[in-house]
């Protein structure tokens, strides 16, 4: 969200107020509580999400720009197709193992759910500022905690719970602020 907010200002000429900035930074602090970058669990591979964030930011800004001229389903289709092509490069770095039927089912569900999520994300970027939509991506951390607990029996730590609360509050602030702005614009 930080990179998308920066890129939205530079490339999309969006105006981002200090309240949205504070909410974005609060959400980032919540994520830091969850990931604990100073702990012994932190290693070189923890840098990869930073590259993901930069890449995601480029995608978000590109989708916002493309949504002015292209239909949502077409953007989502080409984005998914490009991901399949680019991710197939990893086949050359690992030994191929045929997935079991259950694993194949899970892989198909990941593809289907990811494609549907991508279509929804594209539609959201068409209808609202990228700098507004992207901080809500922090909520995916909450769903990871939820599914981690219910599917894998992972017990969240105190810092994870604190981080989750911060993320929820920052997302709530963004929603409430947008409601206030919408009411003000309607009354004018």
Q: Show pLDDT as tens, one digit a residue, over the chain (188 residues).
A: 677 778 888 888 888 888 878 888 887 888 788 777 766 666 777 677 778 878 888 888 888 889 889 999 999 999 889 888 988 888 888 788 889 999 999 999 999 998 898 899 889 888 887 767 777 776 777 788 889 899 999 998 898 889 888 888 887 787 777 777 777 777 76
With 0-12 CB in 10 A as exposed, 13-18 as middle and 19+ as buried, what is 122? Answer: buried
Axis-axis angle for helices 18-35, 139-152 (nearest 10): 30
* Contact of 142 with 164, CB cutoff 8 Å: yes
Which pLDDT score is estimated for 107?
Answer: 92
Instruction: Collect all residues with Cβ–Cβ distance below 8 Å to 164 and sequence separation of at least 6.
Output: 30, 34, 141, 142, 145, 156
Torsion angles phi and psi, residue 70, rounded to 5? -120, 150
Which pLDDT score is estimated for 5?
Answer: 77
pTM of this structure:
0.68
Which pLDDT score is estimated for 119?
Answer: 92
Which pLDDT score is estimated for 113?
Answer: 92
* Contact of 167 with 143, CB cutoff 8 Å: no
Tokens at 71, concatenated: 């239909």
* Contact of 118 with 76, CB cutoff 8 Å: yes
Going by C-alpha positions, the residue among 187, 136, 137, 145 that lies closest to residue 163 is 145
- HSE-CB at 19 with a 13 A cutoff on CA atoms is 12
Which pLDDT score is estimated for 74?
Answer: 93
Which pLDDT score is estimated for 10?
Answer: 84
Whole-angstrom distance, CA of residue 172 vs CA of residue 47: 28
Tokens at 122, concatenated: 């594209």
User: What percentage of the chain's residues is helix, strand, coil (to nearest 5)?
Assistant: 80, 0, 20
């Amino acid at each position: 969200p930080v990179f998308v907010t920066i890129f939205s200002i530079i490339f999309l000429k969006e105006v981002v107020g200090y309240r949205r900035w504070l909410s974005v930074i609060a959400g980032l602090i919540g994520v830091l509580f969850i990931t604990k970058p100073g702990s012994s669990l932190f290693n070189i591979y923890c840098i990869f999400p930073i590259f993901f964030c930069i890449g995601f930011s480029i995608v978000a800004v590109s989708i916002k720009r493309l949504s002015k001229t292209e239909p949502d389903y077409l953007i989502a289709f080409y984005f998914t197709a490009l991901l399949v092509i680019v991710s197939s490069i990893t086949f050359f770095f690992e030994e191929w193992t045929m997935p079991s039927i259950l694993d194949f089912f899970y892989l198909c569900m990941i593809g289907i759910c990811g494609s549907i999520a991508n279509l929804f994300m594209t539609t959201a970027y068409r209808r609202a500022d990228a700098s507004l939509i992207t901080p809500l991506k922090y909520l995916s951390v909450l769903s990871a905690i939820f599914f981690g607990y219910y599917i894998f029996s992972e017990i969240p730590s105190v810092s994870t719970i604190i981080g989750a609360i911060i993320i929820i509050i920052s997302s709530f602030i963004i929603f409430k602020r947008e409601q206030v702005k919408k009411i003000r614009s309607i009354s004018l």
